[in-house]
Structure 1
Amino acid sequence: MGEAAFVEAAERHRDELRVHCYRMLGSFSDAEDLVQETLLRAWRKRDGFEGRSTLRAWLYRIATNACLDFLASPARAREVAMAESPIAEITWLEPYPDRLLDAASEVVEKETIELAFLAAVQHLPPRQRAVLITRDVLGWPAAETAATLDMSVASVKSALQRARATMRAKLPERRAEWSRQAGEREQAVVRRYVEASQGADPASFTALLREDARQTMPPVNLVYEGRAAILAMWESALADTDTWGEWRSVATSANRQPAVANWARPPGQSAWTPVNIDVLRIEDGLIAEITTFAPERLAEFGL
């Protein structure tokens, strides 16, 4: 394969490789860096690609090991914070815009990209994480996973058992019951959430939240447990009109979940300032969980 043809062929896999790195790392910005590192490594090693596997599988092996090298670096050491929520414990967690997931739709199912899954995966040791993703998400045979990770097949099977046990402990109990598709009922909840935000309407918020709803704010290790705690926080913020002034909200989506991006225009200002992105988990027509992210990733959302 010529150099130009190699580059073109490898670039076709950029979107799905970024999703793979994101599952490994939990951070969109780190995934961007690591997919670029993967393509650079592939370019340097291109003469060693002998076609014994597909180019796609070869690139996935390089990406997996690039992520493991990243996670092994002392400069990149990460410690799970102690918090009441598995999501809040992962302070480096970032949202993944659905408009970019659509480019890799063949390798993205909702249950393998939603925030609860991503947070649970981050609790696994890196090698267990790689085994779980290659075996249960990518569907690789144990032998192929073993060759990629320089492990024995027996070690792969053992690591997978331990990883699955951790995932069962970390994932929400009712996760299997969550809707796989965003229906009209869910979209209606999002519309009402936008209206309540822009109208600074606590009563409307109250009607949208489950009594046991939770709000978390990575990377800040804050968890608001229950509707009353969330409303108390919101009412305090909404009452501070000298700081926030007007509020504007726009529906979007991240990690195959509904989301709302928010801006504020302080009194006397003409420009709208981005404030945050709220990613919502909706159960039975009510908001069960809100994960609030800083606005730095808004550009990737096209907003």
Structure 2
Amino acid sequence: MSADTRPAGWGEVDEPVFSGLTERHRRELHVHCYRMLGSFEDAEDAVQETFLRAWRRRETYAGRSTVRAWLYRIATNTCLDLLAKRRPQPATGGEVPWLQPYPDRLLDELPAGDADEPEAVAVARETIELAYLVAVQHLAPRPRAVLILRDVLGWPARDVAELLGDSVNSVNSALQRARAGMRAHLPAERQDWTGGDEDAGTRELVRRFTDASVAKDVDRLAALLRDDVRCSMPPTPGLQIGRDAVVGDWVADGFPELGRLRAVPTAVNRQPAVAFYLWREGEGAYLPLTLDALRVTDGAITEIVTFHADQFPRLGLPERLPADGTE
């Protein structure tokens, strides 16, 4: 029996068989919910609710579509329900306070697919990057769902209309509005918001950023930033735009006076990232401080999204670093 074949007596199927047919899709459903919600934790809640609803309503699966498509329908409606309860209004002002990073090591669990498939291409890069996530969170929930289902998953308009209980014309209209909304919140040129494949130049730039940060050398850091660099630190409010504003904020926050730092390279949302640790004398170790996710364009840093230390465990980062540099 194939992975998406409807078994006889689906309504009476036992839990192990049901899990075998559905659990294989958990990671990609989680990524789908993450795009819809912008929060890793909310996506976990949505996926759990999706599987609970699927189990309770398993007799409603009639086999007209694959199990995967059926689960995506449930997951999308679950996200819309959560958005109505938790965040009735979309993000505003270019900030997403609930934004959380998605570790690359978990993205690597996604099933390998044909490079020509929309989902395989999308997951690989631009629609999982933080710039895209921030922009999509500024859309109202239903246009957001339409955009993701149509442009990311490649669903036909009629299937999206059936899922949302709308007409095809309504779906096409919502898609146009969503695309216009995305253009309003993303740089005009695609290469300005997607970093693309990491090359030797990007790796060298990240190394220089890391070294300058550990040295707390503000002048060296400023030289790596593009003039229109953007910097945010969700959930802390405040979006800094422009090199002078970003550097001024660092100085005002006392960055140059921080104690000893160490750094660990990592990757989130298919972007380079650096985890910083601060020496704590009382602990005799370096403890988690912040994580900087970087967007690099044409040899300069164009965006820094800084996340708090509470994200370190999810990212598989060490709880502490010893004084001698060994782990």
Global fold match (TM > 0.5): yes
Query: Please, which of 148, 172, 179 is the counterpart of residue 157 of structure 1?
Result: 172
Question: Which segment is superposed worse, 110-119 or 223-232?
Answer: 223-232
Partner of 2:279: 265
Partner of 1:92: 98
* Contact residue 231 and residue 304 of structure 2 kept, 8 A: yes
Structure 1: tracts of 5 or more residues without a match = none
**1:239 and 2:256 aligned:** yes
1:12–1:295: structure 2 CA closer, same or farther, 3 Å change rule? same
Partner of 1:276: 290
Structure 2: tracts of 5 or more residues without a match = 1-6, 8-12, 114-118, 318-327
- CA displacement, residues 128-174 of structure 1 (integer Å, 9 cap, x when unaligned): 11111101110000111111111111111111111111111111123
Determine which structure has the larger helix proportion and give its number.
1
**1:173 and 2:184 aligned:** no
Paired with 1:261 and 1:291, the residues of 2 have a C-alpha distance of 12
Root mean square deviation, CA, Å: 1.8
Q: Counterpart of 1:42 in structure 2: which amino acid?
A: A
Residue pairs, 1:50-129, within 5 angstroms: 50-73=62-85, 75-78=86-89, 80-81=91-92, 83=93, 86=94, 89-104=95-110, 106=113, 107=119, 108-129=123-144
Question: Which segment is superposed worse, 55-64 or 39-48?
Answer: 39-48
Partner of 1:294: 308
Q: Tell me how many residue pairs correspond in the alignment.
A: 294
* Contact residue 116 and residue 172 of structure 1 kept, 8 A: no
* Contact residue 213 and residue 227 of structure 1 kept, 8 A: yes
Which SS does the other structure have where 1:90 is aligned?
coil
Partner of 2:46: 34
Residue pairs, 1:11-50, within 5 angstroms: 11-50=23-62
How far is 1:179 from its partner? 4.3
Q: Counterpart of 1:158 in structure 2: which amino acid?
A: S
Paired with 1:233 and 1:168, the residues of 2 have a C-alpha distance of 28
* Contact residue 26 and residue 118 of structure 1 kept, 8 A: yes
* Contact residue 197 and residue 248 of structure 1 kept, 8 A: no
Paired with 2:22 and 2:233, the residues of 1 have a C-alpha distance of 36
Q: Counterpart of 1:71 in structure 2: which amino acid?
A: L
Partner of 2:236: 220
How far is 1:246 from its partner? 1.4
* Contact residue 90 and residue 138 of structure 2 kept, 8 A: no
Q: Counterpart of 1:52 in structure 2: which amino acid?
A: R
How far is 1:78 from its partner? 4.1
Question: Which segment is superposed worse, 182-191 or 220-229?
Answer: 220-229
1:148–1:115: structure 2 CA closer, same or farther, 3 Å change rule? same
